Structure 1
Amino acid sequence: MGDDPKTLVSTQWLADHLKNPDLRVLDASWYLPDMNRNARAEYDASHIPGARFFDINEISDARSALPHMAPPVEKFMSRMRAMGVGDGHQVVVYDGSGLFSAARVWWLFRLMGKTDVAVLDGGYPKWVAEGRSVEDLPPVLKERHITVQRQAQLVRDVTQVAAASKLGDHTMLDARGPARFKGSAPEPREGLRAGHIPGSKNIYYRDVLTMDHTMKSEQQLRDLFHDAGIDLTKPVITTCGSGVTAAILNLALERIGNRNHALYDGSWAEWGQFDQLAVEKG
């Protein structure tokens, strides 16, 4: 499949298009507390030329007690307008891990009806390793009009996921590590039970990536899903700890031509806290 400005582009593709006035590059780095990294400070120190910082925690639903839930349409529009990201732009999102949180922002743009958005394969580490140019200057921002049409079919809430779990009419994929999925390792967020949503299958997000944090080829992805016994004839719901790494599975599904997938935004941060919701272990 190679470079696809609607899913994934290479560092070479980005370097070739970097001077395009209709390109917008977003640094969507985000880290778990135990990673001990400050995404904003790293961006301020060094980023791909012209990149804007997309703050996943801030561009979210402030009304929700859950971490970084998808923002209301109005908030997304106002933040993008202020960042100079609008209609007619090709967006490329990257992160400082290689391919981690950038997929979440790719999914968020698609949720808002914007499809001209791709993740940078291998992210900032690959870009730097190849000796490509970086800068520490803030970008010059000019407001840009953006129209948004929320695609409700791309997101699921706890009620819909509970129904899907009960009926077995969806394939539910959990992107967390195998130990957390099985319930043999504690959750990083306090107060959450261990285990997984009944009926869900485990595809660890790292398993769709190569050693250098680029995404595996389409054939390797198909083999991975097939070998894990994943039924892709049913609609897919992805889930993880808090809706970030789940999006990597959505991106992988999109790469192999599967369009029938949604993301459970609340994920385990929500499901794991309610005793009335069943939990499976093992």
Structure 2
Amino acid sequence: MTPSPADDPKTLVSTDWLARHLRDPDLRILDASWYLPDAGRDAKVEYGAAHIPGARFFDIDEISDLRSTLPHMAPPPEKFISRMRAMGVGDGHQVVVYDGAGLFSAARVWWLFRLMGKTDVAVLDGGFPKWRAEGREIEDMPPIVKDRHITVSRQNHLVKDVTQVAHAAKLGEAEIIDARSGPRFRGEAAEPRPGLRSGHIPGAKNVPFASVLNADGTMKAPTEVKVVFEAAGVDLAKPAITSCGSGVTAAVLSLALERIGHRNHALYDGSWAEWGMYDDLKVEQGPQA
């Protein structure tokens, strides 16, 4: 069997790749399913009912900075270390992350591992829906976990705060790429989180995260992904800052940028949950300029 062109253990791997490596002793699989409140789905319950053999559940809301009033902000390194050790994920492991939507929240955990300096991590292309559709093995029991040592080195250049994003927007020194839907970006649809203004960061470009995906939840080929960014007016020669509603689907765009060889990208962790909250931050509505 020839490897899929998607197979890159540092970005994206196919279901075929995972099936071949499922019993590798140094493989760790994470179910990072997460859904918006209006989705009517419970990620933990779904994990308990069925998951890929050996998968551990990665709770995006809990493995976060709970000191912040913003949703699931990146955790302090010491908390990440504590949680990964308890899950038996450590140094020398190849990590594969998937979610129950196809390719939605798994990219957020891929980005989080990279933020912590861990690069042997990939997203499962098409996620659990593709795995199940292919009739592959599943189980309903959590794995037996042994504590594993893990070292991290936070890569501060991979994340931006509101001050840095405001500066970049004012000077136009980076492409701010918004992964939300067109209606939310243009301010035509209300935000799912109450109390937020509608619109987008001035100068941002809109690349809805679904536009870099195929209908089956797999990521489009790098050549197609590049066309999507360019069609949205993104200058791929400039540094990029990805954003969305709360820093989850922004990571899909970060993964897509990495896939096309764009290495100078960071994620705005607060995203619209933060920017849309403060009246002193400018907001644009309507189509991008």
Normalised to the residue count of structure 2, the TM-score between the two structures is 0.97
Deviation string, structure 1 residues 229-275 (Cα, Å, up to 9, x no partner):
21011110000000000000000000000100000000000000100
Correspondence for 1:119: 123
* Correspondences of 1:20-39 after superposition (within 5 Å): 20-39=24-43
Distance 1:226 1:197 in 2: 19
CA deviations 1:47-79 (Å, max 9, x no partner) are 000000000000000110000000000000000
Between stretches 3-12 and 216-225, larger displacement belongs to 216-225
Q: What is the CA–CA distance in structure 1 between the aligned matches of 2:255 and 2:59, rounded to whole Å?
A: 20
Alignment pair present for 1:267 and 2:276: no
1:167 aligned onto 2:171? yes
Q: Secondary structure in 2 aligned to 1:185?
A: coil
Q: CA deviation at 1:40?
A: 0.1
| Structure 2 unmatched ranges of 5 or more | none
Tell whether 2:114 aligns with 1:110. yes
- Normalised to the residue count of structure 1, the TM-score between the two structures is 0.99
SS of the residue 1:14 aligns to: helix
Matched, 1:180 2:184: yes
Distance 1:184 1:129 in 2: 35
The equivalences for 1:51-70 within 5 A come to: 51-70=55-74
CA distance in 1 between counterparts of 2:163 and 2:150 reads 31
Which of 182, 192, 198 in structure 1 is aligned with 2:196? 192
How much has 1:26 moved relative to structure 2? Answer: 0.1
**Partner SS, residue 91 of structure 1:** strand
Matched, 1:225 2:229: yes
Unaligned runs of 5+ in 1: none
For 2:247, the aligned partner's letter is: G
Cα deviation, residue 221, structure 1: 0.6
Q: Does 1:276 align with 2:280?
A: yes
Matching residue within 73, 76, 81 for 1:77: 81
Q: Which runs of 4+ in 1 moved over 4 A?
A: none
- Length, aligned pairs only: 282
Distance in 2 of aligned mates of 1:281 and 1:12: 43
**What percent of counterpart residues are identical?**
72
Candidates 195, 205, 210, aligned match of 1:201? 205
TM-aligned CA deviation for residue 228 of structure 1 = 1.9
What letter matches 2:117 in structure 1?
A: G
Aligned to 2:161: 157
Give the distance between the partners of 2:87 and 2:226, measured in 1 at CA. Answer: 37
Q: Distance in 1 between matches of 2:275 and 2:113?
A: 25
